């Protein structure tokens, strides 16, 4: 059983469960970073992710800072704005997954990948979790996908210099579902098709069941 599965077994409460506390003070301190309609100023657009025909999430850098603003729009109307730690996605490789009631945001703290979750309707902080368990820091030069999603789950590609991991998370509950070690080959592409999430590492795509992570 993977480290992620062991954590899941200890807590079924997802974003709000004690598994979050077990990740240590660094993740717990995310609450200190979070503000709604904060005083810091939003800078240039870093990424824009369409949710449906009307809604989109826009990520902006913090003017003069290292954090990021995440904004939800309905057409041209700004519904809310949240300030989070440094965004871990980039144009063409989004780090955002939107469910019915939660938005997960891929962030980077101290060289490691984490998830920061907020409520879709209110932008209230729900919690967070660390990624890449059992490994060191991530590779900031990795060029592959970051977050894949079907709006029910997020599938997080975590990339180190000689290791890669795929993690499945239930969006609305924040419950970690499974993790798969992908090995040292860089992940160059990925997607979700039906009941499968797939990644490419230079050969034929590797496909995994979306609910269990078992190879297909």
Nearest Cα neighbor of 109 from 52, 163, 32 is: 32
- Asked if residue 148 belongs to a domain, the reply is yes
- Asked if residue 71 belongs to a domain, the reply is no
- pLDDT of amino acid 14: 75
More confident residue, 1 or 85: 85
Residues 108, 125: contact at Cβ < 8 Å? no
- Asked if residue 48 belongs to a domain, the reply is no
> What pTM was computed for the model?
0.84
- Asked if residue 75 belongs to a domain, the reply is no
Name the residue range of residue 24's domain: 3-39+89-209
- Asked if residue 161 belongs to a domain, the reply is yes
Specify the number of domains making up the chain: 1
- Asked if residue 46 belongs to a domain, the reply is no
- pLDDT of amino acid 16: 53
- pLDDT of amino acid 175: 93
Task: Indicate whether 3 pLDDT > 50.
Answer: no
- pLDDT of amino acid 19: 37
Sequential DSSP letters for 81-135: EEEES-B--BTTB--EEE-SSEEEEEEEETTEEEEEEEETTT--EEEEEE-STTS
- Asked if residue 109 belongs to a domain, the reply is yes
Phi–psi pair at 120, nearest 5 degrees: -65, -35
The pairing of strands 55-62 and 153-159 is unpaired
Q: Residue 193: how many CB atoms within 10 A of its CB? A: 11
Question: pLDDT tens-digit profile of 182-203?
Answer: 999 999 999 999 999 999 999 8
Question: pLDDT tens-digit profile of 32-81?
Answer: 444 444 478 999 999 999 999 999 999 999 999 999 999 999 999 999 99
Residues 159, 186: contact at Cβ < 8 Å? yes
The pLDDT confidence band at residue 13, using thresholds 50, 70 and 90, is: low
Tokens describing residue 192: 């979700």
- Asked if residue 69 belongs to a domain, the reply is no
What CATH number is given to the structural domain containing 195? Answer: 2.40.128.630
Question: pLDDT tens-digit profile of 137-196?
Answer: 999 999 999 999 999 999 999 999 999 999 999 999 999 999 999 999 999 999 999 999
Tokens describing residue 22: 């077990």
């Amino acid at each position: 059983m993977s480290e992620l599965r062991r954590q899941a077994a200890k807590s079924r409460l997802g974003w709000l469960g004690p598994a979050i506390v077990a990740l240590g003070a660094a993740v717990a301190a995310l609450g200190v970073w979070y503000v709604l309609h904060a005083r810091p100023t939003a800078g240039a657009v870093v990424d824009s992710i369409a949710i449906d025909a009307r809604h989109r999430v826009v990520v902006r850098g913090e003017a003069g800072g290292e954090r990021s603003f995440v904004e939800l729009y309905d057409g041209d109307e700004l519904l809310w704005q949240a300030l989070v730690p440094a965004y871990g996605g980039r144009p063409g490789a989004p780090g955002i997954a939107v469910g019915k009631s939660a938005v997960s945001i891929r962030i980077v703290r101290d060289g490691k990948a984490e998830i920061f979750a907020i409520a879709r309707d209110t932008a209230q902080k729900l919690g967070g979790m660390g990624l890449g368990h059992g490994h060191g820091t991530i590779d900031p030069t990795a060029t592959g996908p970051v977050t894949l999603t079907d709006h029910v789950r997020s599938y997080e590609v975590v990339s180190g210099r000689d290791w890669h991991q795929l993690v499945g998370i239930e969006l609305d509950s924040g419950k970690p579902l499974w993790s798969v070690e992908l090995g040292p080959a860089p992940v160059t592409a990925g997607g979700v098709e039906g009941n499968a999430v797939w990644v490419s590492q230079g050969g034929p795509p590797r496909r995994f069941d979306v609910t269990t992570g078992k190879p297909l």
